[in-house]
Amino acid sequence: TDPYLKAAGILGLTGFLRESQNLVVLWSPRYFSRLWCVYEVASWMHLEKETSKVHFFPLALALFGITVMFALFFSSFLLMWAARWTDVEYNLAAVVITLTSLAAPTHIIRRLIRDLQRMPRQVAAFSLKRAECFCCSNNHKIPGTDVDIPCDRELIEGQLALWGQATGEEDPLEKFDLYVREQLGSHILTKVGGSRIPYKMALMISVPVWGFNCDRLVLVSMVEPWGAMRLMLHYVTTYVAVFPTAIRVALLAAVFLDRTLGVRERLLEDLLVTVLGICMFAGYFLGCLALLVYALQPVSVVPQIIITVLVWAFTVLLYSEQGVRCLNRFESIGSKAVLEEEAVRISAESNLDYSVESVSEAAQIYAATRQQKEQKRLVAEQRRRPAAALPDVGGTSDVEEGSCRKHPLQVPPQLHEVRTSQSLESQSSTDAGGELETARIRHR
């Protein structure tokens, strides 16, 4: 509640970032709607740090990894208990246990993937003025008390204004919005996606099941050393190659299902889609394990070497730079489709005919169409509002009751150019149409 301590904290954050080499962002769907989170990015931009040093880590991947880790642990424990059965019973139990243990991770990741697919829309529509803060949301009172708290928005926007004055910028807030939409947005959309998971993280997820086979490996080595070496190759390939690729395939399956079927409102339909995702994941995972187990049966080691090399080659390809680039192109189609669909929906009355070949082009068109819609809304409000109700051109107006009562509301720039409703309508349609045409020409 101390305004001086809060101001010192704001200034201290910039000093801390000045000494930092990287900025790690734990992203959630609400990240770009929180004022303090946005201020971190603004401070990074003010310090002229490299955009490539901003690392976005979706929390969805962490939740998915923990869920899969527990699923692998309990399924391995159940399979050890079922090892006393016959081969047919054991194989049937392995299929049932694998399918049931993957139900929760698959169902969770489908909904989290949906949030990741909406990230391009959030980036394209970003605006610092629409970011939320705790003080303004609670009318500058500590909930349940009458204790006043200072306005975070006044301090943060005031700090951004000081930075703008130091560099001679006319509108630092607008410059920051453009930085997020274009420069930072392009970096985010190429680094974050539904199936993009680091190999180290995928390898770490499979660690809990390593210990279940260590005692078996030691026991076999006492009886048959050569068989123990082949079994060790089998285990290493399973945990270091099959498990990471299976996790990547599961994420790709979730992206594919989100692209084609989406998240269903009815519970039964949504569960059926989850079952389809489980079958896709389990089919790949159990198929690879069946090949590796089959390679252990012959006396000759040649089949095992061939299958092992193929599995390792697929793993390297899937996590290599070229493989990641191909997957990024696959996922960008979905991001582009989301943006293009929204742009067409907003600007349907404009009868525009365009095609989008990249996410950046889609983001430009989406932002332009949103601006067009906002300007038309202002025109409609001015037509309904009497002339005497227009605010003073050179001043500011207090915020209405129920919103931020301490932070003055700046008069929108569009109102400074109001002469008549006809001239404003002509100006808005010309500006928005010009931006759309610029995006189309740049694309062509």
pLDDT tens for 382-418 read: 776 654 444 443 444 343 334 444 444 343 443 333 3
How far is 227 from 220, CA to CA, in rounded Å? Answer: 7
Other C-beta atoms closer than 10 Å to the C-beta of 21 total 7
Model pLDDT, residue 411 = 36
Asked if residue 6 has pLDDT above 60, the reply is yes
Stated as kind and residue range, the H or E segment containing 280 is helix 267-296
How far is 106 from 270, CA to CA, in rounded Å? Answer: 11
Which class for 33: exposed (0-12), middle (13-18), buried (19 or more C-beta within 10 A)?
A: middle
How far is 20 from 43, CA to CA, in rounded Å? Answer: 12
Residues 327-342, mean pLDDT to the nearest whole number: 53
pLDDT tens for 257-287 read: 766 666 555 667 777 777 777 888 788 888 8
Contact 352, 439 (CB under 8 A): no
